[in-house]
Structure 1
Amino acid sequence: MTYEQLLTQTATADDKYIVMTAENRALVRNIPSVLGNRFVDTGITEQTMVGAAAGLALRGRVPVVHALTSFLTMRAFEFIRTDVGIPSLPVKLSGFIPGFLSDGNGPTHQALEDISLMRGIPNMEVYAPADEDDLVKMLPYIWSTPRPAYVRINTRTTDYIHSDYEPGKAEIVATGTDITFLTYGLMFEQCLQAMKHLKQEGKSVGLINFRSLKPFDESALLQAVADSKLLITVEDHFLTGGLYTIVAETLLKHKTTADVIPFALAEKWFKPALLPDVLKYEGFTGKQIAEEILGYKIHTEETVMQAPAFAE
């Protein structure tokens, strides 16, 4: 099932759902003819859309709103914070082409701080599915709750079949004693490839898909710390405020530590290109990640863990 099919099925079965967009119909092209006046396109007015969605939510509706991620999370941030977050209204925010998925666009269209922004809003839940299979398994729960939620929309198809979504729980793909990957969203694909390369080198490798970033599965992280010598966070997001920061906050909260190496963008936007070229140029392909990791020295009394050059 696709995102559009799931949304159509959900909205036709329950008239409390309203589908909205700020002139970004890529995900919902066929829905207007089905929903009629329960489909609202406000034009290129993300702030107006979010404000209107809050008003509809106050009247018992569940608006599912769509816009390019960079403009939804930044241009409309105050409206999301004030109109949706403070009253904790069930507005469901669908951010299109987040992170590296905005591959051909320049910095103005690159949403690399969206996780940081959205998880900083009290009451806001934050989700980042790995692909379309993960997305459609998560959304029925996300849309059904009375809470506001932000979803990093990812409709890429992969061969991986995800487990059913358990609210607030990470997906434990594999466990490993040498290295464990911690990731979400698009980079899940590359972590699968990196895991494959490292296993060929004789490493015991784990992989955790943190499909829910808020609420965050602290127990999954703490178990990985206990099981594995080295943790690798991989995300198409700025280093500040994303998964690496969540990991640091969680470890400090539990008064523990671990060797953690981040693969993230630090103080820079990525160079626009086709997605495979973006990943290669920025050093985020599975093969490149595996090769970088094989060059690291895990912290011991004699050696000090080296940080990746592109995260300095």
Structure 2
Amino acid sequence: MTYEELLTEIARANEQVVVMTAENRALVRNLPLILGKRFIDTGITEQTLVGAAAGLALRGRIPVVHALASFLTMRAFEFVRTDAGIPNLPIKLSGFIPGFLSDANGPTHQAIEDVALMRGIPNMTVFAPADEDDLVKMLPHIWQSPSPAYTRINTRKTDYIHADFEPGKAEVISEGEDITILTYGLLFEQALIATEILRAEGLSVGLVNMRSLKPVDEQAILKASKSNLLVTLEDHFLTGGLYTIVAEVLLKNQQTATVLPIALNERWFRPALLPAVLAYEGFTGKQIAEKILGYQTQHKQPTILSSQFAE
């Protein structure tokens, strides 16, 4: 099932669902004819889009809002915070082309601080599916929630079949004594490749899909931190994303760990087609495995929450 098919099914079953967009119809091209007045395009006006969604939510509707992730989370940030987060309205934000998925776009269109922004908003929940299978398993739960939600939309098709979704729970793919990789979204695909390369080197490797970033699965993080090396992997700035989440969880629980973050450290990525972006920025499965092996070779002694290798 695709994103559009899922949304169509849910909207047909529940007349309170209203589909909205800021002239970004890539995910919902066929819905205007199907939903009629329940499809609203405000044009390139993200603030108006969120404000209108709040008005509809106050009248019992469930707005599913679409825009480019960079503009939805930054241009409309105050509206999301004030009109959706503070009053705790069930506005569902679908952020299109987040992170490396904006591949050929420059810095203005690169949403690589969106997780940090959205998880700081009161009542806002934040989710990042690994691929299309993960996405369609997650969204029914997200859309049924009474809370506002931001989802990093990822419609890439992979061969991986994910476990059923529960908000606030990570998907533990495997456990490892030597290394555990925590990741989310697009890079889950590359983490799978890195995991196999590392296992071929004789290492015990765990992998966790952190599909729910707020609420987050603290127990999964704490368990993973028992590995000799914990790796956080994300197409996001180092600050405010998964690395920061892990640091917060460890500090809250008075735990320490040796952590290698692989992220973007206060810089944007070079625009290109996705395979070239991953290779140039060092985020292919092979390059990730090489970074982890290089870190192990260089650091014989534990280094607590080191950010030396952040990209």
The equivalent of 2:247 in structure 1 is: 248
The equivalent of 2:188 in structure 1 is: 188
The equivalent of 1:65 in structure 2 is: 65
Residues 130 and 185, structure 1, Cα contact 8 Å, conserved in 2: yes
Deviation of the 1:310 alpha carbon: 5.5
Cα distance in 1 for residues equivalent to 2:79 and 2:120: 14
Query: Residues 272-294 of structure 1: CA distance to partner in whole angstroms, max 9, x if unpaired?
Result: 00100000000000000101111
Please state whether the residue corresponding to 1:231 is helix, strand or coil.
Answer: strand
Cα distance in 2 for residues equivalent to 1:290 and 1:159: 21
Residues 95 and 152, structure 1, Cα contact 8 Å, conserved in 2: yes
**What amino acid is aligned across from residue 282 of structure 2 in structure 1?**
G
Residues 298 and 304, structure 1, Cα contact 8 Å, conserved in 2: no
Label 1:229 to 1:48 Cα distance change in 2 as closer, same or farther (>3 A): same
Please state whether the residue corresponding to 1:129 is helix, strand or coil.
Answer: coil
Query: Residues 103-128 of structure 1: CA distance to partner in whole angstroms, max 9, x if unpaired?
Result: 00000000000000000001000000
1:284 correspondence with 2:283: yes
Deviation of the 1:167 alpha carbon: 2.0
Please state whether the residue corresponding to 2:295 is helix, strand or coil.
Answer: coil
1:155 correspondence with 2:173: no
Residues 42 and 49, structure 2, Cα contact 8 Å, conserved in 1: yes
The equivalent of 1:85 in structure 2 is: 85
The equivalent of 1:50 in structure 2 is: 50
**What amino acid is aligned across from residue 14 of structure 1 in structure 2?**
N
Q: How does 1:54-133 map to 2 (within 5 A)?
A: 54-133=54-133
Query: Residues 154-193 of structure 1: CA distance to partner in whole angstroms, max 9, x if unpaired?
Result: 0000000000001210000011110000000001001000
Cα distance in 2 for residues equivalent to 1:299 and 1:286: 20
Please state whether the residue corresponding to 1:88 is helix, strand or coil.
Answer: coil
Cα distance in 2 for residues equivalent to 1:279 and 1:241: 21
Label 1:154 to 1:38 Cα distance change in 2 as closer, same or farther (>3 A): same
The equivalent of 1:303 in structure 2 is: 301
Deviation of the 1:71 alpha carbon: 0.4
What's the Cα RMSD here? Answer: 1.5
Please state whether the residue corresponding to 1:296 is helix, strand or coil.
Answer: helix
**What amino acid is aligned across from residue 57 of structure 1 in structure 2?**
A
Cα distance in 1 for residues equivalent to 2:94 and 2:106: 21
Cα distance in 1 for residues equivalent to 2:121 and 2:307: 30
Residues 229 and 298, structure 1, Cα contact 8 Å, conserved in 2: no
Query: Residues 78-112 of structure 1: CA distance to partner in whole angstroms, max 9, x if unpaired?
Result: 00000111100000000000000000000000000
Cα distance in 2 for residues equivalent to 1:37 and 1:308: 50
**What amino acid is aligned across from residue 270 of structure 1 in structure 2?**
F
TM-score (norm: length of structure 2): 0.97
Moved over 4 A (4+): 304-310
Query: Residues 22-70 of structure 1: CA distance to partner in whole angstroms, max 9, x if unpaired?
Result: 0000000011100000000000000000000000000000000000000
1:269 correspondence with 2:260: no
| Structure 1: runs of 5+ lacking an equivalent | none
* Aligned residues between the structures: 310
Deviation of the 1:296 alpha carbon: 1.6
The equivalent of 1:167 in structure 2 is: 167
Please state whether the residue corresponding to 1:34 is helix, strand or coil.
Answer: helix
**What amino acid is aligned across from residue 179 of structure 1 in structure 2?**
I
Label 1:257 to 1:299 Cα distance change in 2 as closer, same or farther (>3 A): farther
1:18 correspondence with 2:43: no
Residues 265 and 310, structure 1, Cα contact 8 Å, conserved in 2: no
TM-score (norm: length of structure 1): 0.97
Please state whether the residue corresponding to 2:185 is helix, strand or coil.
Answer: coil
Residues 230 and 298, structure 1, Cα contact 8 Å, conserved in 2: no
The equivalent of 2:4 in structure 1 is: 4
